[in-house]
Amino acid sequence: MTSHTPVPHLTDPTVLVTLVGPDQKGVSTRLFGVLDGFDLEVIDVEQLVVRGQLVLSVLVTDPGEDTPLEEKVRELGASLNLTVTLERGVGDNRPRRVGRAQVVILGAPMRPHALAALTAQIRADHGNIDRIVRMARYPVTAIRMEVSGADPDVLQASLARVAYEQGVDVAVQENGILRHAQRLVVMDVDSTLVQGEVIEMLAAHAGCEAEVAEVTERAMRGELDFAQSLHERVARLAGVPASALDEVYDSLSYAPGARTMIRTLKRLGYRFALVSGGFTPIIEKIAAELGIDYYRANDLEVVDGALTGKVLGEVVDRAGKARALREFAADAGIPVKNTVAIGDGANDLDMLAAAGLGIAFNAKPTVRDQARTSVNVPYLDTIVYLMGITREEVEAADAADGR
């Protein structure tokens, strides 16, 4: 016959023991050693160290006021130069309310007034901040808050507005087990994964870069139909040697942090896809170089070693990008709610809306305003903080690989 230790009831008396002061070796060991001298059970433990200052809290069942618990803990605190508080109450921590969400704030720099405004908004949305931790100090400061009691969709809308006013970025994701599942990351290429627009680099070979750049800018702002604008721009490339595609590929520069983001998330089993309004000969080389699992782009007609100025087949436009995301997710066996889409232009909006997490990365204003999440710093690896990964974890993994 198996015996079971009774589980503490929510109405059982408890004591919260908190030690605050200079961090030093062995504090938790010595505190648990003191507690072990009493008939009690540990219910919860939290420890935090900031700039060498320790906050250690232990919630235990109350062994009774007639025991020397408080005396022994205060003796320990005095010997370690730590401030001690004991708070008697009833039961476990207050039950966490419905509406659990993860709020990640990115700032470069992170100012107190921004955090004050965002935390005030969380309170106004009936949220409670259960925990705050730092995810990264550079290249941006990233702070993660665990929030309960507020509707994640309401938080997303209200905090996005406040973040824009305060000059920081914010992302809200509903907490749950699916947040830890394998994901598919689908990225735009031009001005997202790579710096600049490939079609403008090709246009430089035809001597019409300025004209093509103007059309590109209007298309990215959503002022022109993308497919129509692509045909118009590609027509100007007629006669450009096909070898220019190789030259453009050789000259590409990836966004800062792009390789770090891909390398880090692939370690965790994430899949990657590129969906581009650019051109297959370049996109397929990028995919091979970075170990990308899927890609889709536009095909250019080449005759006698030169571009004809025509696009072959169906254009990968705004609707086509969203369709590709769903198709890649189905092929990978990953639910669409576990996809992440990253883009900067109006033709990315359907893809951003279809994904479980759509991120406007250094996007045009019309895209930033419509996307659920916006990142306005130039570092693509900040995306990993939204996935719950810290800078320290990234560096430790790289160090283990000898990087």
245-278: per-residue pLDDT in tens? 999 999 999 999 999 999 999 999 999 999 999 9
> Superfamily for 101-180?
ACT domain (3.30.70.260)
Pick from 42-51, 57-66, 213-222, 283-292: least confident = 213-222
Residue-range domain boundaries for the chain: 13-90, 101-180, 185-371
Q: Please state the pTM of the whole predicted model.
A: 0.81
Q: Say if residues 275 and 186 touch (Cβ distance below 8 Å).
A: yes
In DSSP terms, 45 is beta-bridged to 58
Q: Does position 139 have pLDDT exceeding 60, yes or no?
A: yes
Write down the pLDDT at residue 90: 78
DSSP codes of every residue in 256-308: TTHHHHHHHHHHTT-EEEEEEEEEHHHHHHHHHHHT-SEEEEEEEEEETTEEE
Given this chain, do its domains 13-90 and 185-371 carry the same CATH topology?
Answer: no
Is the pLDDT assigned to residue 2 strictly greater than 60? no
Higher pLDDT, 288 or 366: 288
Q: Which pair of tokens denotes residue 59? A: 């919630």
Closest CA relative to residue 309, chosen from 246, 243, 245, 240 = 240
Position 180 scores a pLDDT of: 67
Residues 59 and 40: beta-carbon distance below 8 Å: no
Helix (H, G, I), strand (E, B) or coil at 17: strand
Amino acid in position 197? E
What pLDDT score does 95 carry?
53
Catalytically active residues are: 188, 190
pLDDT of residue 293: 97
Token output for 391: 């800078």
Structure confidence by residue, pLDDT tens digits, 115-129: 999 999 999 999 999
Compute CA 200 distance to the chain's CA centroid, rounded to the nearest angstrom: 30
pLDDT at res. 312: 93
For domain 185-371, the CATH class is alpha beta
Q: What's the whole-number mean pLDDT along residues 59-74?
A: 93
Please tell me the predicted confidence (pLDDT) of residue 1.
44
pLDDT at 182: 73
Distance CA 240, CA 363 (A): 30
Q: What is the CATH number of domain 13-90?
A: 3.30.70.260
Pick from 140, 105, 137, 109: which is nearest to 121 by CA? Answer: 105
Find which of 47-56, 86-95, 217-226, 328-337 is predicted with most confidence, using mean pLDDT: 328-337
- For residue 336, list its beta bridge partners: none
Q: CA-to-CA distance for 362 and 375, rounded, in angstroms? A: 6
